Amino acid sequence: MKNRGFLWIIIFLLLSNGILLAQTNKKVLIINSYHRGFQWSDDVIRGIEKVLYNTNIDTNFLYMDSKRISSKKYYQKLQELYKLQLKKEKYDLILAIDKFAYEFSLENYSELFTDEPIFFTGIEQFSLKDVKKYNLEKKVSGLLEKRAINDIINIIYKLMPNIKKLYIINDKSANGDDSEPFVRAAIKKIGKKFTVEYIRKSTLNDLRKKFSVYKKEQAVFFIRFYNDKYGKLYKNSEIASMIDSSALPVFVTDTLFIGKGAVGGKLVLIKELGKNTGKNIISILNKDIPTPFIKKDSSYKYIFDYEKSKKFKFKLNKLNMPISYVHSPVSFFDKHRQLIDLVFLISPFLLFLIVCLIHNIYLRIKSVKLLKERMEFDKVLLNAIQSPIVWQDKVGKIVDSNSKFRDLMYLSCPKTNGKILKDYIKKSKSSSLLKALDAFINNSQEHNEITLKGHDNNEYIYIVNQTDYSEDVYKSCGTVTIFTDITKEKNAQIEKIKHQEFIIQQSKLAEIGEIFSSIAHQWKSPLVEIATIAQEQLYDGSEQVDEKNSKYVNEIMMQVRYMTETINDFQQFIMPSRKKTVFDINKAVVKMMEIIRHNMKYNYIDVNITIVENTNLLICGYRNELMQTLLNVVNNAKDAILKLREKKIIKRGIIDIKISNIDNSVQIEIEDNGGGISLTDIDKVFEPYYTTKKEGHGIGLYMAKLIIEDKIGGVIGVSNTLTGAKFTIKLELSNENFSS
């Protein structure tokens, strides 16, 4: 009874902890209208993440890419995909970034969500009518982003009181439509003060030409221009280039292009918008604020480019407001502040330093004796070093050397002092050293590796390094030459290369054996057919070529063509890839399976290749090496299946090959019903020379790992399933394919 009571206490504590954990962890789904890399939404997200970083709120992101694709069909596909992704997920709040994500969340709320509240950010207009249309008036809160259009026009007028024409740029996009009413109201308010040309449809090149000539009393007010009149999407760098090249002053509404060509203005702080969004999310989840609510973000700051303002001779003090600058000049004092502070700091010690220097001269003279003793000690220490070392003065004469250098020169130390290294080598018996050092002495920077013959007539490899030195006591300078023996390292490197080449060759030979077996099996049936047809033609005895003989000839040619294609496929497979190419992974798998199709058929093995819908199949890599790897995995699966068939555990073998996209990669899954890999072996299958086969060489899967991970840059792994083993290979998509 006591034990049972103790068990109930433990269960109660575990349940309590689970409930508490579920109550404290919050989940937020963030739907971004645009793609990753779009600067405006990326800056908003950075602000949000900075606020949520140290909280108990977990975030998940969905990117709609609405700048590049915005058709109804595309949104329907997104709805189907998100419905599948969110089927088993439950969130505490849905955050919609900008107009497209917000409208998408409203329209598909009943399909994607249950009762989660929606919070939007970054849109300029809110319509209660749209919310009521979907019965979500109690679910929707948000933070409006208002561009200071009127304020910026007033700033332009103050800085350019004689302005005659203002160009306002606002592209023909859904976001541009949201800003349209505010722009029209501002234009109406301008009245007859100056002329306004409102540009909504154009191209970046047209705008570049339009603003290429300076006109004193004209300016540009840039609101946005991501999509041109043909629907082309421009990058921020392209827009910034156009703004920077403009001969007219360009005023902007947010921080995206400040410091990149724009003069400035009353700017929306995009990261601050993100931070305020994050603070509102926390307040909603903690129920610190009543919902629903609609707020207007007031994150503005007057920011101007100092260099651009100076170029157009703007007097910013006319604005009578706190202004922040980018590209502002640095004063001499600010530039050298540390040096100036240091001078003031150490000035009281200068006199003391002079006294110390005088005392130091006395101590230096006194320490000459100790220095000589130290030099003797250093000589003993240098003689203990295994690398030959020699000192030369500035004219090339030998000053000193250690014992290892004397051994290298075949002479005693006293004979080396005062000699020039090049002349000394010529007079000595070390002819091999002269020949090896000749290139190094003439150009020590390019030839620093030499090969010498030792006393035992064996070759030794040295790295020769020269370093300049200077000595303050005797005011001398010169060079130190060090010979470092790297013979063992070089030999080890050569052996390593040979070992790797041996492994690759062994793996290739093993796979070629498998392929020859498959080809021999394929040739049997065509050869029998050829023999039979030839005999029938021979015993016919008819000299006239009739329809029957023609049919026989056609059948013979068909079989011969089949054999030719088989050997061609084999030749292409065994030919190593010389460089990376972009190829279709599905075609490579099909080509590989064609080589062993008959082998699988006659061993009662069914191979199924499945391509997940809308899978990007183009990768950049080594096609033949990848086919070799896949063949190795499939052959291992075949061997495992044959073992079970011999034991009559299964009647037919099944190998399923599935190709799909995971994140930005192609995933290939090869699964069989061969019984799997034992737990003691599964962690070792990729190790070299490890095998469970009686006649196995143990390098097939090791080479597969080398090819996939080291050569192609992918990942390969293995796991067990209910019926067998599953190998998973992940490869990066080709950049060209992904961008398209």
pLDDT computed for residue 360 by the predictor: 83
Strand residue runs (E) in 341-490: 389-393, 398-401, 449-453, 459-471, 476-485
Strand residue runs (E) in 455-562: 459-471, 476-485
Residue 348 domain flag: no
State whether 573 and 427 are in the same domain.
Answer: no
State whether 421 and 527 are in the same domain.
Answer: no
State whether 131 and 246 are in the same domain.
Answer: no
State whether 613 and 552 are in the same domain.
Answer: yes
State whether 205 and 316 are in the same domain.
Answer: yes
* Strand partners of residue 725: 720
Residue 335 domain flag: no
**DSSP 8-state class, residue 660:** E
State whether 128 and 161 are in the same domain.
Answer: no
Which domain CATH number covers 199? 3.40.50.2300
pLDDT computed for residue 502 by the predictor: 44
Residue 308 domain flag: yes
Kindly state the tokens that stand for 126: 């809110």
- The region, left, alpha or beta by phi > 0 then psi within -120 to 50, assigned to residue 313 is left
State whether 535 and 682 are in the same domain.
Answer: yes
pLDDT computed for residue 292 by the predictor: 92
| SS3 sequence of 543-590 | CCCCHHHHHHHHHHHHHHHHHHHHHHHHHHHHCCCCCCEEEEHHHHHH
State whether 136 and 179 are in the same domain.
Answer: no
pLDDT computed for residue 20 by the predictor: 44
State whether 27 and 153 are in the same domain.
Answer: no
Residue that is last in its domain, among 109, 125, 145: 145
Residue 236 domain flag: yes
State whether 540 and 606 are in the same domain.
Answer: yes
Number of structural domains in the chain: 4
**Cα separation of 723 and 505, whole Å?**
33
**Cα separation of 625 and 577, whole Å?**
7
**Cα separation of 224 and 207, whole Å?**
13
- pTM score of the predicted model: 0.46
Residue 353 domain flag: no
Q: Does residue 433 contact residue 408 with C-beta atoms inside 8 Å?
A: yes
Residue 195 domain flag: yes
404: domain range?
386-485
pLDDT computed for residue 19 by the predictor: 46
pLDDT computed for residue 565 by the predictor: 58
**Cα separation of 611 and 671, whole Å?**
14
Residue 347 domain flag: no
What string of DSSP letters covers 432-447? HHHHHHHHHHH-TTT-
pLDDT computed for residue 551 by the predictor: 59
State whether 16 and 101 are in the same domain.
Answer: yes
List helix spans (H) across 246-336: 270-285, 306-311, 332-335
Residue 554 domain flag: yes
State whether 106 and 241 are in the same domain.
Answer: no
Which residues in the chain show pLDDT less than 70? 1-23, 331, 333-335, 371, 373-375, 377-379, 381-382, 386, 394-396, 406-448, 452-457, 471-475, 494-578, 697, 735-740
